């Protein structure tokens, strides 16, 4: 009877051990997912969104973060994971939406988010402390580069300018005065681009300091989009 009881207790302990072994990967997945989601959420919500106010990219970055993390975390082979991660970088390195190119700031955040997701999904061989420090470095570097205490933001606009007689170097002061009067902006730098002598117009880019922290994507628009674009 004692032997039967011992066998039953041993069986129960083995069942509990097997159950714990099955539960541990699930708990690790949930912990890493929440940790990764919070870190990326901080970067998107507090660093990217306040300046761009682009809800579409907010949505895109968040879902790409979730998708990349879960895909890499749940794939079996480590070599396959690394190859997939490199493929993700290659795909988004050449991506163009049908209506417009992805702005450089959005592409940078996209690479950053993919990098964080890949690192958090592949970092099963390092300690939680090392993973925490790595993610904190990402957040700290993003905060430093986005902070206006370190780098003052200069806004720019593309303008189709009609007074091409003022674009010559000798009349740069007159050009700045005319642009400041017509735009109402404190312009500190002007670059002259394409010149169309047939239409007496030229594309110029003006640089000015703005109190607004938001980034206006329409500033880079040089023409009206055609129907169907």
Q: Give pLDDT tens digits for 3-51.
A: 554 445 555 555 555 454 567 778 888 899 999 999 999 999 999 998 8
Least confident of 33-42, 63-72, 122-131, 190-199: 122-131
Q: State the alpha helices, DSSP H only, in 147-213.
A: 172-183
Task: Tell me which residue of 119, 17, 124 sits closest to 76, measured CA to CA.
Answer: 124
pLDDT of residue 208: 87
Question: What is the gyration radius of the CA atoms in the chain, in angstroms?
Answer: 27
Domains of the chain, by residue range, sit at 2-146, 154-212
Nearest-angstrom CA–CA distance, 176 and 139: 39
Nearest Cα neighbor of 67 from 88, 93, 43, 96 is 88
Angle between helices 55-74 and 104-122 (to 10 degrees): 30
d(CA 4, CA 63): 54
pLDDT at residue 102 in the model: 73
Regarding pTM above 0.85, the answer is no
Q: What is the pLDDT of residues 75-91, one digit of tens each?
A: 755 556 666 666 666 66
Percent of the chain with pLDDT over 90: 29
pLDDT band at 137 (very low <50, low <70, confident <90, very high): very high
């Amino acid at each position: 009877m004692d032997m039967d009881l011992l066998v039953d207790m041993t069986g129960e302990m083995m069942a509990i051990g097997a159950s714990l072994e099955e539960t541990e990967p699930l708990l690790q997945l949930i912990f890493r997912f929440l940790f990764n989601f919070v870190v990326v959420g901080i970067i998107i919500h507090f660093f990217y969104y306040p300046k761009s106010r682009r809800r579409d990219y907010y949505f895109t970055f968040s879902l790409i973060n979730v998708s990349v993390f879960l895909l890499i975390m749940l794939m079996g082979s480590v070599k396959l994971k690394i190859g997939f991660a490199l493929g993700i970088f290659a795909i988004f390195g050449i991506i163009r939406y049908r209506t417009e190119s992805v702005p450089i700031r959005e592409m940078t955040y996209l690479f950053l988010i993919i990098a964080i997701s890949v690192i958090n999904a592949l970092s099963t061989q390092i300690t939680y402390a090392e993973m925490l420090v790595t993610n904190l470095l990402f957040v700290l570097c993003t905060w430093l580069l986005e902070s206006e205490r370190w780098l003052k933001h200069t806004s720019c606009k593309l303008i189709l300018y009609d007074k091409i007689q003022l674009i010559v170097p000798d009349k740069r002061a007159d050009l700045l005065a005319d642009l400041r009067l017509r735009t109402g902006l404190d312009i500190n730098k002007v670059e002259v681009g394409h010149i169309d002598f047939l239409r007496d117009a030229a594309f110029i880019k003006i640089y000015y300091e703005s109190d607004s922290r938001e980034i206006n994507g329409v500033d880079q628009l040089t023409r009206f989009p055609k129907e169907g674009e």
